[in-house]
Structure 1
Amino acid sequence: MNLKITTLIEDSPGRCDECENGLSFFVESEDFSILFDTGKSGKFIENANSMDVDIRKAKHVVISHGHYDHTNGLVDFIERVNNDFEVFLGDNFFRKKYSFNGRKYSYKGSNFTREYLDENGIKIRYVNEDVAEIFKGVYLFSNFERNSEFESTAPVFYVKEDGRFVLDDFSDEIAMAVDSDKGLVVLLGCSHPGIVNMLESIQKRTNRSIYAVMGGAHLIDSDEDRIKATCEKIKSMGIKHIGMSHCTGEDAARYMRKNICGYFENHSGNVIEI
């Protein structure tokens, strides 16, 4: 399978001038075109246009989790580009998400509702399986095992249920992997359940080696011990290429650059072909 992955947007500029606190990939092969996450605005569309990437071909959209910086561009995509697609969402995607800074709660969820998608004729498929094959060799994962002793969800994220704020367990988070002759190519949104937990779950469930990983590792607020432990685990898995971006954090990126062979920083406009 020939695979092409275009980073339509992330936090830093690269080939494209437009960047924002968000993430969006366009994944293409001879058999499918998939949009993975949509950033926090329609800027990913401008980048696609500037690179002559035809995102109108996307008949499937995968949203990694319900935070605004991965979801809010979907409305622009529907209203400006294409409303003929199926969207894949994790269970509990529509729970209202917030962050807490010690003083107040701030809304961090998406800018659309289930009713909005229904009104626009968008087909919704909820992902609640451990592994769901949506095309031959294309898999979505949820319900990640959480066995890593050094990974925990940041205690700043909450959901509102029955009028109360409770810690977000990110049960809505999903990841995507595409099989290739060299192994799995994994796309991650923010890795809130822990990047090691997620990668180990994927490897265990598929019994396949992971060739490459791209996306956010959410190590932005992590201490040195967690960053080191994460890198050692990733190195032990034999992953050949790891392209981190978005919420990975400068400290983690700096450490990975020095200590992981095959690490690269992924920026807006990067194109990877496998």
Structure 2
Amino acid sequence: MKLTFLVDNNALVGSQYLAEAGLSMFIEADGQRVLFDTGYSDAFLVNARRKGVDLLRLDWIALSHGHFDHTWGLGMLLRQYCESGLRDLPRANLLAHPKAVETKRHRGIMEFGPLLSRDKLASYFDLKLTTEPTWLTDSLVGLGEIERTMDFETPATLGERLENGEFVPDDLPDDTALTYVTDTGLVVIAGCAHTGICNTVEQAKKVTGVDRVRAVLGGFHLQKAGPERLGPTADYLAALDLEGLWCCHCTDLAAKIALAAQCPVREVGSGLSLEF
């Protein structure tokens, strides 16, 4: 598997890639081309061109959850489709939790979720909206709705989601992740890990039946986290004996420092490519 961070909050020193408060990755695995999240703007498209990545011919688009910093780039991708003038473009599968494509709002922001409706998405992509784990390739799986088992990763709400015509507190049931199975263990690929990065890893083990974890990467949603959350999280991840921990996007500096005290934290930025 080859994974490229198309956009992240950070741009590596000396690189020519754009950064923004969003996340998008491009994954090549088992002959399949997968776009995981699309960031906030067209920055992931600009970086893809600079990286030589063709996003017009995708097999899968997978969404980690329905927030704007992971989904608004979808509109930019559709614009690129339309402006390409090509009529033989394949219809990619779009994998997401059903609640990831619903309206959300937060702190007065009129739309905190995706800008494109379910019907609009269905006119361009084959929708695979499910709460169940879904295999994209023989080795790459979407984890479905993540079970929350860790007592230190307590459920928290962020804004509201529209449900049955009414807004309700959003505890992000749509948060999910991908996992790649290698001969020597799992590579867990998170978007924001609103359900908790440790819960996410446990879900990956449960879905795949593999206990060994090689690497964990993506957003960990550790912002202004207290010691009661950071301590157990660092202990759990350290016990995995990882090859690398590529935490980014919604993981703040204090969290990275705390994790780096026990774990092999690696630097992440737009344009970074990894192979497993």
TM-score by length of 2: 0.90
Asked if 2 retains the 8 angstrom alpha-carbon contact of 1:253 and 1:265, the reply is no
Q: Distance in 2 between matches of 1:263 and 1:115?
A: 41
Matching residue of 1:256: 259
Matching residue of 2:85: none
Q: Distance in 2 between matches of 1:268 and 1:61?
A: 19
Matching residue of 1:90: 97
Q: Does the alignment pair 1:156 with 2:158?
A: yes
Asked if 1 retains the 8 angstrom alpha-carbon contact of 2:157 and 2:172, the reply is no
Matching residue of 2:59: 59
Q: Distance in 2 between matches of 1:240 and 1:272?
A: 12
Identical positions, percent:
29
Matching residue of 2:174: 172
CA RMSD of aligned residues (A): 1.8
Asked if 1 retains the 8 angstrom alpha-carbon contact of 2:21 and 2:40, the reply is yes
Q: Distance in 1 between matches of 2:18 and 2:90?
A: 24
Asked if 1 retains the 8 angstrom alpha-carbon contact of 2:7 and 2:24, the reply is yes
Matching residue of 1:184: 186
Matching residue of 1:7: 5
Query: Cα deviations across residues 95-120 of structure 1 (Å, max 9, x unaligned)?
Result: 221224xxx4653111111121133x
The one-letter amino acid paired with 2:114 is: S
Asked if 2 retains the 8 angstrom alpha-carbon contact of 1:35 and 1:62, the reply is yes
Q: Distance in 2 between matches of 1:122 and 1:156?
A: 28
Q: Does the alignment pair 1:214 with 2:223?
A: no
Asked if 1 retains the 8 angstrom alpha-carbon contact of 2:60 and 2:136, the reply is no
User: Runs of 4 or more off by more than 6 Å in structure 1?
Assistant: none
Query: Cα deviations across residues 158-208 of structure 1 (Å, max 9, x unaligned)?
Result: 213355432212221221111112211111111011111111121133221
> What SS does structure 2 have at the residue aligned with 1:229?
helix
> What SS does structure 2 have at the residue aligned with 1:227?
helix
Q: Distance in 2 between matches of 1:87 and 1:156?
A: 24
Asked if 1 retains the 8 angstrom alpha-carbon contact of 2:156 and 2:171, the reply is no
The one-letter amino acid paired with 1:220 is: Q
1:83 positional shift: 6.5
1:80 positional shift: 0.4
Work out which of the residue numbers 102, 115, 118 in structure 2 matches 1:114. 118
Instruction: Return the structure number with greater strand share.
Output: 1
> What SS does structure 1 have at the residue aligned with 2:266?
strand
Q: Which runs of 5+ in 1 are unaligned?
A: none
Q: Which stretch has the larger CA shift, 227-236 or 151-160? A: 151-160
